[in-house]
């Protein structure tokens, strides 16, 4: 069975600083996809970044980068130059190879301080 | 707007009543997923469709829950005889691809409050 673990219920970061949100995963599949989504208080799930298990390089999307350590089964999200609008809940997720469904972690609430 | 659309956005009902939520996915997406999310938790998978076929149902989907996607386009999620424990956000997502790549596109959710 696939499992995602996010051990940080809440994080604070000063505006303009970088922050790392932790994610570890467990799967027996050799092929998997890892995702990060942002959920503001309004409720919509916003896709941020994707990393495939066979990708050689860590994924980057603007201020978001994914620190993928396959041997440690971790896929941490790094947000650089935090902005007030980054305050939200962040979810790490793994996509099931056969069904395509996403399996989510418990989430981390990020608050950016001015 | 061509994103995933969910209606209603909010529903308040009394215990024992039936409620139905509708999801309109992105038009060319053949996969449609329903999730339930309670406050402060991650979304939990309920069920998914490939075109009109319902291919998997979670154990969370009790007999009081039923989902349909009659023509492979929009989908409905019905909850019969609602209970207070059904209070949650119900999220719908769609995707074009199967497999490990390609994100799921989510709607804004339907928030259910059972009094």
Which chain A residues in 13-32 lie under 8 Å from chain B, judged by CB atoms?
31-32
Are A100 and B98 an interchain contact pair (Cβ–Cβ within 8 Å)? yes
Are A95 and B42 an interchain contact pair (Cβ–Cβ within 8 Å)? no
pLDDT in tens, A35-65: 999 999 988 899 999 999 999 899 999 999 9
**CB pairs A-B closer than 8 Å:** 71
Are A97 and B99 an interchain contact pair (Cβ–Cβ within 8 Å)? yes
pLDDT in tens, B77-108: 999 999 999 999 999 999 987 777 788 999 99
Q: Say if A107 is an interface residue toward chain B (CB within 8 Å).
A: yes
* Spatial CA neighbour of A81 closest among A65, A57, A68: A65
Q: Are B112 and B8 in contact (CB under 8 A)?
A: no
pLDDT in tens, A1-42: 889 999 999 999 999 999 999 999 999 988 899 999 999 998
In this structure, are strands B10-13 and B19-24 parallel, antiparallel, or unpaired?
unpaired
Q: How many CB atoms neighbour CB A23 within 10 A?
A: 28
Q: Is the pLDDT confidence value at B1 over 60?
A: no
What does the pLDDT read at residue A2? 87
Q: Say if B31 is an interface residue toward chain A (CB within 8 Å).
A: yes
Are B98 and A98 an interchain contact pair (Cβ–Cβ within 8 Å)? yes
What does the pLDDT read at residue A107? 97
What does the pLDDT read at residue A72? 95
In this structure, are strands B19-24 and B31-37 parallel, antiparallel, or unpaired?
unpaired
What does the pLDDT read at residue A98? 81
Q: At B52, give phi and psi (nearest 5°).
A: -95, -5
Partner residue opposite A44 with nearest CB, options B44, B97, B108: B108
Q: Which two tokens stand for residue B5?
A: 């659309």
What does the pLDDT read at residue B60? 85
What does the pLDDT read at residue B33? 96
Are B93 and A102 an interchain contact pair (Cβ–Cβ within 8 Å)? yes
Place of tokens 């119900």: B90
């Amino acid at each position: 069975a696939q499992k995602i673990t996010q051990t940080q219920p809440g994080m604070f970061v000063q505006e303009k600083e970088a922050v790392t949100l932790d994610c570890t995963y467990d799967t027996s599949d050799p092929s998997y996809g890892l995702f990060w989504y942002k959920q503001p208080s309004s409720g919509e799930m916003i896709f941020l970044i994707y990393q495939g298990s066979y990708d050689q390089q860590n994924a980057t999307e603007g201020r978001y980068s994914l620190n993928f350590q396959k041997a440690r089964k971790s896929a941490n999200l790094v947000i650089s130059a935090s902005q007030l609008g980054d305050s939200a809940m962040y979810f790490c997720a793994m996509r099931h190879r056969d069904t395509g469904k996403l399996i989510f972690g418990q989430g981390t609430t990020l608050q950016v301080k001015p | 707007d061509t994103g995933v659309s969910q209606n209603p956005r909010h529903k308040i009902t009394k215990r024992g009543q039936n409620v139905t939520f509708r999801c309109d996915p992105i038009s060319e997406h053949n996969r449609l997923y329903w999730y339930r999310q309670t406050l402060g938790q991650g979304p939990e998978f309920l069920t998914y469709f490939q075109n009109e076929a319902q291919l998997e149902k979670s154990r969370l989907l009790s007999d009081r829950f039923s989902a349909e996607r009659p023509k492979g386009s929009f989908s409905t999620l019905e909850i019969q005889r609602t209970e207070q424990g059904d209070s949650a956000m119900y999220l719908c997502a769609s995707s074009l691809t199967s497999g490990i790549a390609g994100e799921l596109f989510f709607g804004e959710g339907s928030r259910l409050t059972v009094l």
